[in-house]
Structure formats: structure tokens, C-alpha cells
Amino acid sequence: MGFTGEFHWQVCRSTGLRVLALMLLVLTLAVATPSWAKPLTFGTISAVPVEEVQVFQPFVDFIAGQLAGDGIDAGKVVVAENVNQMAALLKSGQVDLFIDSSVTALVVNKLAGSQFMLRRWKKGREQYRSVIFVNDDSPITALDDLKDKLIAFEEPFSTSGYMLPALVIRAQRLGLNEVANVKSAPISGRIGYVMAYDNETQAAWLERGRVQAVAMAEDDFLSFSKTALKPLRALFVTPYVPYHVVTHRSGLDARLVARIKSVLKSAHETEVGRGVLRSFEKTTKFDDIPQSLLDNVLEFEPFLQQVIAPQ
């Protein structure tokens, strides 16, 4: 699997939305609505768009309501299938704000020219990192030892389960190529990887020798360590990166950006706001991204193409 999947209905939908927006504009004008009011569009990447919209909409509506005096009359949610698609939506201005993991946001920023805006404390988590680990009795002691070995990642668009550990490996100037399945052999001198699409599968493959290493979020690693079939050993730990971030498209009004930032950053200060955030995937707050964390993310920028582009 990769980023090659087609998903046209979003495109159709955006067109319809444009028409509707126009009509609304006319109507608004007819009733003496300020002519510059427009919706604020949040974008996200997901394979289950219906559920995703259900999760995002209450939050989006709340924020939009806070920005009613700032020319925002509604809140919208747009779900893209992959990074490239989201980048296109941001670049075209169909999406104003993009919320996702920091590495994914980095990729989208590079493609769409968008910019980091705020950190989102999704599920109350401010940062996270990945762990590349092996069985404790494995002869592998360094990333370099993974040559000619297989590593299991979680899924292509998982920051902790793929992008982050992959960027680290790339940053070590190690070759990384995907193989078809766990029975496939990697290219000689390179590290082969396979997507397991499931943490438990990753752990099971490693425990039963299907792969020689696994990469996943640190919390997941610690959890699986407790129930591992045999002791596990961390081979490499990535730097911390923000768990979730909010980016904005380029060209978005700076005042509006500031205003949006203010609203997001103060959203948790009210009971209503906390309730809305809580229902939005247990978000606790939004804050500025610490520079150190942002630097950790930006360090991977030179290697993004190697991780994201198909090999």
C-alpha cells in the first residue's frame, strides 16, 4: 500500500461546496450580511472520513463560533485520503487549517507551503517519540546491523509507527526499502521494511522471528514489553516531536491567523471550551510549539522525500 489510492468524491464535494458558498454569499448580501464572511475549513487525513467528520465537526463549529466577529460564519471539515491530496487542498485554499501529527504536517507543509501554527495536546499528550527495538537476545546492537534485515513499521501515514523511525534511519544514511511481505528478502546492504498495519502484528512478528526489528511509539513499546513473549531491547530512540499540530495554509490572513491562534489557545479556559475539546479526541489544549520540538521535526526535512516518495 502507499499513497496511490484515488479518492475523487472529495474533489466533487469541494466543487459543490464552492457553488453553495457562492449562493450563500449572495444570500448573505441580500440580507445585508458582511460581504467578507466566510467559513473556516479544517482539514485532516483519514481512511474513515465519515467518522472523522463526526469527530471534528463539533470542535470546528465551536471555533468558528468564536470567530464570528472575525468574518467566519461557519466551520467546515475536509478529509483527505493522503498527504498529497491534503497538500493540494491547502495549496488551493480549500483548506485553511490542517491538524495532524507533526511529521505529517511537515510533509504537507513542504508540499503545500503551509506553516506550523500551534501544538495540539491530543489525548493530553504534548510530545512523543518512537522506539526501534529488537529481541533482547538479538545480535543486532545498532541501526547499522539492520542491513539485510527486516523491520516492521505500522502504516505509511503513522508518524510514530513509520515516518519518524524511517526518517531517523534515513538520517543515518542507511538504505531503506519496502518489501512485499515478511517472507521477502531485503535488497542486499539495505534495510528492508514491511508494513504491519497493526502494533500487535508488529510485536507478534518480532517475537516469532518474522522480522528482526520493529518501530512504534514509545508508549506502545513499553506496553508490549510487559506482555512480550521474550524480553525486548530498544535499539534506537528518536527525538521527541510534538504529538499533534495545527498548520495553516499560506496566504491566510495574518490577523485571522492570530485570531484563530488566540481562540484555540484559550479554548480550554472555559467549561464549554473544555467540553468541546474533550469530545475532540480528548484534546486538553492548544499551545505554541516549543522551538526545540519544532527543531527536532525540522531536522528531518531533508529526508522527507526518501520517506514519503515511493521507492
Partner 1 sequence: MKFGLGLKIAAFTSALIFLIGVALLGVLVYQERVTLHNMKMDEAEEYTKRTSSQVGNALYNLDIRELRRVVRSALEGDVADLVWVLDDKGRLLTDGSEKPFLRNQKPPYPIVDMLITSKVMSNAMDEQHHWTGVPVMMGESTVLGYVVVAFASEHLNARLREHLIKQLLILIPALFFGVVAAFLLGRRIAKPLEALSAAAEKIGGGDWGVSIGVNSQDEVGDLAHTINIMAGNLSKVAVSRDMLEGIVAEKTAELQKHYDHLQESIEERTRELAQSEERFRGFAESTSDWFWEMDENLRINYLSERYEEVTGRPKAALMGMTRRELADPKSLEADAEKWQQHFNDLDEHRPFRNFEYDILSEFGGGVVTFSVSGVPVFDEHGVFKGYRGSGEDASERKMILEELRHSERKFRSIVQTTREGYWLIDPQTKETLEVNSALCEMLGFTEAEMLGKTPLDFVDEDNAKVFASQMATISDTDHRSYDIVLKTKDGGDLHTHFEASTIRTPDGTPRASFAFVMDITTGIQAQNELRQARDAADRANQAKSEFLSSMSHELRTPLNGILGFAQLLQYDPSTPLTGKQKDSTDFIIKSGNHLLELIDQVLELAKIEAGKISVSLESLVICEVFDECTPLVQGMADKRGISFAQDKSSCENVRVLADHTRLKQVMLNLLSNAVKYNCENGSITVSGETTENKMIRVTVTDTGHGIPKDKEQNLFQPFERLGHEASEIEGTGIGLTITRELIHLMGGEIGFESELGKGSSFWIDIPLAVENGRAEKEGTQAVPQLDDTLDNPIGDAGKTYLILYVEDNPANLMLMEHVLEMVPNVELISTHTAELGVELAAARHPDLILMDINLPGMNGIEALSWLKKRETTQDIPVIAVTAAAMPHEREKGMEQGFVTYVTKPIQIDTFLQAVRAAIQPS
Interacting residues with partner 1 (CB under 8 A)? 181-182, 196-201, 203-205, 207-208, 210, 223-224, 227-229
Cβ distance to partner 1 smaller for residue 228 or 237: 228
Do 98 and 90 form a contact (C-beta atoms < 8 A)? yes
Cβ distance to partner 1 smaller for residue 219 or 295: 219
Cβ distance to partner 1 smaller for residue 176 or 211: 211
Q: In sequence order, what are the residues at sequence separation of 6 or more whose Cβ sits closer than 8 angstroms to the Cβ of residue 38? A: 21, 71, 72, 73
- Amino acid symbol at 170: R
Cβ distance to partner 1 smaller for residue 74 or 228: 228
DSSP, collapsed to helix, strand or coil, labels residue 127 as: strand
Cβ distance to partner 1 smaller for residue 195 or 264: 195
CA distance 62 to 295: 31
Q: How far is the CB of 193 from partner 1 (least distance, A)?
A: 16
Q: How far is the CB of 79 from partner 1 (least distance, A)?
A: 22
Q: How far is the CB of 47 from partner 1 (least distance, A)?
A: 13
The closest alpha carbon to 114, from 131, 95, 137, 135, belongs to 95
SS (H, E, C) 50-100: HHHHHHHHHHHHHHHHHCHHHCEEEEEEEEECCHHHHHHHHHCCCCCEEEE
Q: How far is the CB of 284 from partner 1 (least distance, A)?
A: 22
Cβ distance to partner 1 smaller for residue 109 or 201: 201
The strand order across the sheet containing 191-195 reads 176-178, 191-195, 150-153, 213-217, 130-135, 232-237
Q: How far is the CB of 201 from partner 1 (least distance, A)?
A: 4
Q: How far is the CB of 151 from partner 1 (least distance, A)?
A: 16
Q: What's the grid cell of residue 261?
A: 491562534
CA distances from 268 to 63, 90, 160 (A): 12, 27, 26
